[in-house]
Chains A and B, each alone.
Chain A
Amino acid sequence: MQLVCPAGNLPALQAAIDAGADAVYAGFRDQTNARAFPGLNFSDDELRDGIAYAHQRGRQVYLALNTYPDSVRLPQWYAAVDKAAEFGCDAIIAAEMAVLDYATRTHPALKRHLSVQGSATTAPALRYAHERFGISRAVLPRVLSIQQVERLCEGSPVPLEVFAFGSLCIMVEGRCQLSSYVTGASPNRHGVCSPASFVRWEEHDDGRRSVRLNNVLMDRFEPREPAGYPTVCKGRFEVGGEVFHALEEPTSLNTLELLPRLAQAGVAALKIEGRQRGVAYVGSVTRTWRDALDRYRASPQDWSAQPRWQSALSKHAEGHQTTLGPYHRSWH
């Protein structure tokens, strides 16, 4: 299994490569990718440099072009596809039909991966993307159980990539409008979720804090209570007279213990989430998974998830908590 790691900028790309990523994924500094955060992503020159750095070491760079352009902005996405081909990216990761079709017709030699944002959860959906756009890989949404992933590996026309570690979108990717309902800014259209410009923290006299997203209260925290980033899905709300994390707790996905099953199912690549995270995260998480994958390759029979791997990963998890998420039935 290939290890695909996040590169939010050039230092992170280098850290991932140095720590043993087989491939990194990156985006341009605009809304053509789903991590269009301030201070993140690559200029043209940085991307060229990053590709050179990876290729010199025999690794790959994928370009995330996984947002949904409207008609007027389509040329910007097409231009990004052109640049991906010109710079020598090893693949683009795209979700939107016009973008995929343009790449298919204009740069047939440039590989196309179906992004997680493409929401393809079944063999027929993957068939569609394969027949229509000749995709060579698909990234599965984080909604399927391990049994469903195993079955899909059997029926898919293309190799599959799954999320292994990182922040957990609990909604089907590409199908969540919670951010846009509150802020008008959406993952699909703008590459952002609950953007920081809409977040307002309030300190109260008693030491408590409140956090609002575009003036809508997402949560309140007691003094010294750890507070996470206020995406709508991780706020505390009142349902039936009780206040709780009605959608999801601040927690990260960690599938380390499923590594042998994913390998045996024929999963082609494991993806680490986190282009918005720093060099320390990328280096440490990549090193940990590299070690785990190498040990598995060397000796699949004796492999078990080592505590030192788990503790290294937990340090980088949201709220220091991890979950098997949808891979495990009890999460549902």
Chain B
Amino acid sequence: MNTMKLSLGPLQYFWPREHTLAFYREAADWPVDIIYLGETVCSKRRELGTRDWIALAAELARSGKQVVLSSLALIEAESELGALQRLVDHGDCWIEANDLSAVQLCRERGVPFVAGPTLNVYNHHALAMLMDDGLRRWVPGVEQGHTLLRELREAMQAEGRTMPELEVIAFGRLPLAFSARCFTARALDVAKDQCGFRCIDYPDGMPLATREGRPFLRINGIQIQGEEITDLGPELPQLRELGVDVLRLYPQAEGMAEVVAHYHLARRSPVAPPRIGARNGYWHGEPGMRMPETA
């Protein structure tokens, strides 16, 4: 039985500097194989700057982790491109490319990259093209479940191509949408340009509920996440059969050590673990969220 690797996905939220550093100091001792570092949501979040992330990458690499530097999902400003260029020029780490700008800069510099979940790779041909560009690992977008991935793998095989490493979001809130608008600032009725970095007060995002009080989404700056913390633990036998190489666990503010321990145990066991989060409908070809009963 192949043992799948565990990764810590990029921190999607904005935490105080000391909190973030303490989190990763702890993570250095967790049984995760890969750690993704960097800001993927908002370039105004600067408790850790590009230089800090790169320094942290070196530190974590010394503790035996593979470190990947993650890039912004939405790049608008020249300064954001400049920061991306510095990540790519750093050269010691693979890059998680979360948009085409990152793919292009990696391609121009010959830096290997991981295609992140917002890159919109939906079929074998696009995947093969990106492999020619330097892709080494692929994290499919959230809406691609078991059947689509199996069909893609078969299409790759039929064309005599080898799959890159396949990493699936196993645990965490799903990143659903990105905007130029900051929804945290909007909810607090402050301008984005004078936001006061208030998202730092919401270490797991800001809950959004329907008008009948049903928890629905999470507001996280310019990003919208699903409310439910999804968990593919019970589906691990299926993931293993599909040839998933890496299980991505997205950091949450509380209890990550236990989540990692849970998955570490599960990845070495032939028996599926009990569910510790919500069922991910996407994986089963259904709507991502758990559906309410008919009203």
**B162 contacts A by Cβ under 8 Å:** no
**A69 contacts B by Cβ under 8 Å:** yes
**B226 contacts A by Cβ under 8 Å:** yes
Task: Tell me if A182 and B287 are in contact (CB < 8 A).
Answer: yes
Task: Tell me if A70 and B152 are in contact (CB < 8 A).
Answer: yes
Q: Which residues of B contact A71 (CB under 8 A)?
A: 122-125, 148, 151-152, 154-155
**B289 contacts A by Cβ under 8 Å:** yes
Task: Tell me if B104 and A124 are in contact (CB < 8 A).
Answer: yes
- With A121-B99, A125-B99, A128-B100 as given contacts, are A180 and B148 in contact (CB-CB < 8 Å)? no
Per-residue interface assignment for chain A, residues 42 to 74, with 1 indicating a CB less than 8 Å from any chain B CB and 0 otherwise: 000000000000000000000000001111101
- Determine which of B101, B191, B216, B288 lies in contact with A237 in the assembled complex, contact meaning CB atoms within 8 Å: B216
Closest chain-B Cβ to A208's Cβ sits at a distance in Å of 11
Task: Tell me if A124 and B105 are in contact (CB < 8 A).
Answer: yes
Per-residue interface assignment for chain B, residues 276 to 295, with 1 indicating a CB less than 8 Å from any chain A CB and 0 otherwise: 00000110011111011111
Instruction: Give the residue among B107, B182, B213, B217 with the most A Cβ atoms within 10 A.
Output: B217
Q: B58-66, B173-181, B236-244: which one contacts chain A?
A: B173-181
Task: Tell me if B288 and A181 are in contact (CB < 8 A).
Answer: yes
Task: Tell me if A332 and B81 are in contact (CB < 8 A).
Answer: no
Q: Which residues of B contact A181 (CB under 8 A)?
A: 174, 176, 226, 287-289
Task: Tell me if B74 and A121 are in contact (CB < 8 A).
Answer: yes
Task: Tell me if A238 and B211 are in contact (CB < 8 A).
Answer: yes
Q: Which residues of B contact A215 (CB under 8 A)?
A: 291-295
How big is the B interface, by class?
Answer: 35 or more
Q: How far is the CA of A124 from the CA of B80 in the complex (A)?
A: 12
Interface residues of A in 146-197 (CB under 8 A from B): 148, 151, 170-172, 174-178, 180-184, 186, 188-189
Q: Which residues of A contact B121 (CB under 8 A)?
A: 97
Interface residues of B in 42-88 (CB under 8 A from A): 73-78, 81
Q: Which residues of B contact A220 (CB under 8 A)?
A: 211
Closest chain-A Cβ to B295's Cβ sits at a distance in Å of 6
Instruction: Give the residue among A174, A217, A219, A332 with the most B Cβ atoms within 10 A.
Output: A332
Q: Which residues of A contact B77 (CB under 8 A)?
A: 148
The residue in chain A whose Cβ has the minimal distance to the Cβ of B102 is: A124
The residue in chain B whose Cβ has the minimal distance to the Cβ of A147 is: B77
Q: Which residues of B contact A240 (CB under 8 A)?
A: 187-188, 206
Q: How far is the CA of A123 from the CA of B78 in the complex (A)?
A: 10
Task: Tell me if B73 and A70 are in contact (CB < 8 A).
Answer: no
Task: Tell me if A175 and B118 are in contact (CB < 8 A).
Answer: yes
- Determine which of A70, A175, A184 lies in contact with B122 in the assembled complex, contact meaning CB atoms within 8 Å: A70
- With A171-B177, A171-B179 as given contacts, are A68 and B122 in contact (CB-CB < 8 Å)? yes
- Determine which of A72, A127, A219, A247 lies in contact with B183 in the assembled complex, contact meaning CB atoms within 8 Å: A247
**A119 contacts B by Cβ under 8 Å:** yes
Task: Tell me if B287 and A188 are in contact (CB < 8 A).
Answer: no
**B142 contacts A by Cβ under 8 Å:** yes
**A260 contacts B by Cβ under 8 Å:** no
The residue in chain A whose Cβ has the minimal distance to the Cβ of B81 is: A122
The residue in chain A whose Cβ has the minimal distance to the Cβ of B226 is: A181
Q: Which residues of A contact B74 (CB under 8 A)?
A: 121, 143, 172, 175
Task: Tell me if A119 and B100 are in contact (CB < 8 A).
Answer: yes
Interface residues of A in 318-332 (CB under 8 A from B): 326, 329-332
**B19 contacts A by Cβ under 8 Å:** no
The residue in chain B whose Cβ has the minimal distance to the Cβ of A242 is: B187
Closest chain-B Cβ to A28's Cβ sits at a distance in Å of 19
Closest chain-A Cβ to B46's Cβ sits at a distance in Å of 18
Task: Tell me if A122 and B224 are in contact (CB < 8 A).
Answer: no
Task: Tell me if B143 and A188 are in contact (CB < 8 A).
Answer: yes
Binding site for B on A (CB under 8 A): 68-72, 74, 95-98, 101-102, 118-125, 127-129, 132, 143-145, 148, 151, 170-172, 174-178, 180-184, 186, 188-189, 212, 214-220, 233, 235-240, 243, 246-248, 326, 329-332
Q: Which 10 A-B pairs have the closest CB atoms?
A: A98-B125, A143-B180, A125-B100, A71-B155, A97-B126, A128-B104, A124-B104, A332-B192, A181-B288, A184-B287
- Other than the given A70-B123, A144-B180, A332-B193, 12 more pairs (CB < 8 A) read A98-B125, A122-B75, A122-B99, A125-B99, A127-B104, A183-B287, A238-B208, A238-B209, A238-B213, A239-B207, A247-B183, A329-B193
Q: What are 28 A-B residue pairs whose CB atoms fall within 8 Å in the complex?
A: A70-B144, A71-B124, A71-B152, A96-B120, A96-B126, A97-B121, A102-B125, A118-B100, A123-B81, A124-B104, A125-B101, A144-B180, A171-B178, A175-B74, A175-B118, A175-B120, A177-B288, A181-B289, A184-B285, A214-B287, A215-B295, A216-B214, A216-B216, A217-B212, A217-B214, A237-B217, A240-B206, A329-B193
